[in-house]
Structure 1
Amino acid sequence: MADAASRLTTIVEELLGTPFPLRLRAWDGSEAGPTSGPVLVVRDRRALRRLMWRPGELGLARAWVAGEIEVEGDLYAALDLLSGVLWERDDERSLSVRDPRVRSAARAFVRLAGALPAPRPPAEEVPRRTGALHTKTRDRQAISHHYDVGNPFYELVLGPSMVYSCAYWDESCGLEEAQRAKLDLVCRKLGLTEGERLLDVGCGWGSMAMHAAREYGVQVTGITISREQAAYARKRIAEAGLTDRIEIRVQDYRDVRDGPFDAISSIGMAEHVGSVRYLQYAGQLHSLLAPGGRLLNHQIARRPERDETAYEIDEFIDRYVFPDGELSPLGTTVSMLEQAGFEVRDVESIREHYARTLRRWVANLEDGWDRAVGLTSPGRARVWRLYMAASAVSFERNRIGVNQILAVKTPESGAAGLPLRARTWN
């Protein structure tokens, strides 16, 4: 077993057809690869068995969550280097168990790791689900997996703002100021005025509802299907003396019946809707708006595939982070909103803002690492560190983006009610 690092590096390079970009340290202490930059540490041979049984992203993710692989040095630099050889290759989809390269690598892995049964997935992994996507019951279970991990954990990661979506930065502000700027941008795009009714879909811990009620004098109905979020939001609202202006409900967007509303905000919620339900989601929000009402849909988007039928859900995200979550191209989302009857009036890409936001959240997690582990588990903390850091790199490399779409339920008269120079947002 001497020099496992060199043997493993050779296997990977033959599999990928390119030099492995990181230095690698194996469980026997041996090292191979570049002498500078971050180091990928394979602490346990079990990581190889995971890759034998599940080649690709899910096998790597399981080894990471289990603590069998680690990165020493700059995690972002390591992910950036790995992106070019693992996730942005033209032949990525050919790396399946039927690929001769994978079979050859598996035989070599067997010699390194031993032909033992597949290790059990880490406890943090969601078991494979069956049945129809995006039923109300299945959506509640998915949301609970991600959001009901304890409000103190989210306080540590997100900071006092408790806003779990992209902030809106300038060069001098901090995270709290950037999140407040985002909430205010949404309110201004919606043109909120005192006394109007706002529906906040996916209200989270109540930050948008509180900002709109306090700063713009609107009556807010916030809905979430996370009971922990709702309880936390109600407590914050009571402490702020805003219970007469804000109602928080544990309610699915499909069950809201008390429109019309003057405006609707949906910030970081539509990623959970799914393609099979998106037209229903858009139609429901359209039906809940008064004529002339505005929707601000803030949503992450992926880049379109050359062949959309070949698109596959990210296995790590699906099993460990957002079960059943889906990203769609921006054009698909705009088309769905238009099919539902909306007039799309403005689209603003704020991709770089999300990369900066995620880096700040990762720093919060790393600064409070021991507490984060105590509040959840070592595996859960590792899931979040990898998910947020990898997402930051994906935004920086333009693999994914985030957009604010302003849409109007334009009345029959055609008067949408927006200013001629709409970007003044008043």
Structure 2
Amino acid sequence: MSSPKQIIERLFNAAGIKINGNDPWDIRVNNEKIYNRILSKNSLGMGEGYMEGWWDCDDLDGFFFRILANQMDSKIPIDIGTVLTVLKARLFNQQTKEKAKEVAYKHYNIGNDLYKKMLDKRMIYSCGYWENAQTLDEAQEAKLDLICRKLKLESGMRLLDVGCGWGGLAKYAAEKYAVSVVGVTLSEPQAVIAREINKGLPVDIRVQDYRDLNEQFDRIVSVGMFEHVGYKNYSAFMKKISVNLTTDGIFLLHTIGGNTTETSTDPWINKYIFPNGMRPSAKQITTAIEPVFVLEDWHNFGLYYDRTLVEWLKNFEQGWPAISKDYDNTFYRMWRYYLTVSAVSFRVRKNQLWQIVLTKQSSLRGYQSVR
């Protein structure tokens, strides 16, 4: 009968990774209990073990690439914790109004200074558009302009930004396209900065759940928020957007997506990074939009998220000395782990990034796709 160490060694060897080997992507084990922890908790045990220093790796990027490219994450025996997480997600709505606030508390409210150091000058926390960009600032500005052109914004229009973050898109649209904007977020710290940078512009930033909206907008956009909606709420989300969109309006959905239909997320990501979040699949999205929207355009540029996340990691590491007093080493290791595994997940095409343009079924307008 194989020991936990032998089982993990075989799995890693199949991916070209050696325990205490000489290659930079090999892992160094600092606590022999890590083998049992991985087998008993799967990805949660792996992530927590790294956070607590039970194992190290000089090239974390190379390690994750070999793990994910060889699909080794799916070959570790399923633990009871993962089974319970999946059952919980299937049986209960993990994204009710009350539960939706949890991700704001645990992720977006952990410090504006952290995000200022990590993100671009506009604090855009979503995939950049690198088609002709050389820097993170350029990639994010190109993404904002692409969104505005896809929405076909015109002076005087009213735009709703669902999940407005720190207000960068609202500011760009108001300044460049002369539209008025309502932005909603569940994060008070985000709203503080969003209101500050949009002072003097026709921008109204609200701390409000999207489910409480009941107004009319010429255009609606949601960037990097749909991942927090939850599959039990996809249809209700689309119907709420439709109710708030004028007859000839346009809705643009910018979201991370998965290749397969799932009803829960990775246990480590769920516990430490994005509580109650999940990647929608194409099937889940199209099922939700079919009763109310016409699909006008579906644009995938998921590979650009790899480069975006790599830039965020560089910024985070460079900015760490200035913010380290507010965190601890466990947080530092957790954040590096999160950014690195996320970048690799897009590189190996496990995750996608979709921009989807929708119009109402009652609309008679034509739509010319924009790239």
Q: TM-score, normalised by structure 2?
A: 0.90
Structure 1 gaps, min length 5? 1-6, 26-32, 99-127
Which of 87, 103, 106 aligns to 1:145? It is: 106
Q: Which of 207, 212, 218 matches 1:255?
A: 212
Q: Which moved more, 1:265-274 or 1:42-51?
A: 42-51
2:138 to 162, 177, 184: 177
Determine if the alignment matches structure 1 residue 279 to structure 2 residue 217.
Answer: no
Q: Which residue of 1 aligns with 2:49?
A: 63
1:12·1:20 contact (CA, 8 Å) conserved in 2?
no
Q: Give 1:358's match in structure 2, choosing from 300, 303, 309.
A: 309
Report deviation, 1:206. Answer: 0.1
**Using the alignment, how far apart are the partners of 1:290 and 1:176 within structure 2?**
33
Residue 246 (structure 2) aligns with: 290
Aligned to 1:24, what secondary structure does the other structure show? coil
Q: Deviations over 1:376-410 (max 9, x none)?
A: 33222222211111111111111110100000124
User: Structure 1: how far apart are the matches of 2:50 and 2:107?
Assistant: 18
> Does the CA-based 8 Å contact 1:168-1:182 persist in structure 2?
yes
210, 231, 234: which is aligned to 2:171?
A: 210
> Is the 1:292–1:410 Cα contact (8 Å) retained in structure 2?
no
Query: What percent identity do the matched residue pairs reach?
Result: 33
1:42 aligns with 29
Offset, 1:87: 3.8
How far, CA to CA, are the matches of 2:247 and 2:178 in structure 1?
21
Is the CA contact 2:133–2:142 (under 8 Å) kept in the aligned structure 1? Answer: no
Correspondence 1:233 to 2:194: yes
Partner of 1:329: 281
1:246 is matched with which residue: 194, 200, 203? 203
Quote the RMSD (CA, aligned, Å): 2.4
SS in 1 for 2:34: helix
CA contact (8 A) 2:24 2:57 kept: no
8 Å contact from structure 1 (residues 293, 410) kept in 2:
no
User: Contact 1:22–1:37 (CA<8 Å) still a contact in 2?
Assistant: no
Superposition deviation, residue 132 in structure 1: 4.3
Shift of 1:51: 3.3
The code of the aligned residue for 1:36 comes to D
Partner of 1:418: 367
Q: 1:185 offset after TM fit, Å?
A: 0.6
Q: Which has the larger radius of gyration?
A: 1
Matched, 1:22 2:17: yes
Relative to structure 1, the CA distance from residue 8 to residue 365 in structure 2 (aligned partners, 3 Å threshold; closer, same or farther) is: farther
What amino acid maps onto 1:59 in structure 2? G
Bigger RCO of structures 1 and 2 (CA < 8 A, at least 6 apart): 2
1:376–1:131 Cα change, 3 Å: farther
* One-letter amino acid of the counterpart of residue 136, structure 2: L
Q: Distance in 1 between matches of 2:173 and 2:159?
A: 8
Alignment correspondent of 2:348: 397
State the 1:372 CA deviation: 4.2
Cα distance in structure 2, aligned partners of 1:159 and 1:176: 5
Aligned partners of 1:132, 1:138: CA distance in 2, in Å? 9
Query: Do the aligned partners of 2:15 and 2:72 also contact (CA within 8 Å) in 1?
Result: no
Helix, strand or coil: the match of 2:205? strand
1:38–1:71 CA contact under 8 A, matched in 2: yes
User: Residues 292 and 390 (structure 1 numbering): CA distance in 2 closer, same or farther, change over 3 Å?
Assistant: same
In structure 2, do the counterparts of structure 1 residues 97 and 289 end up closer, same or farther at CA, with 3 Å as the change threshold? Answer: closer
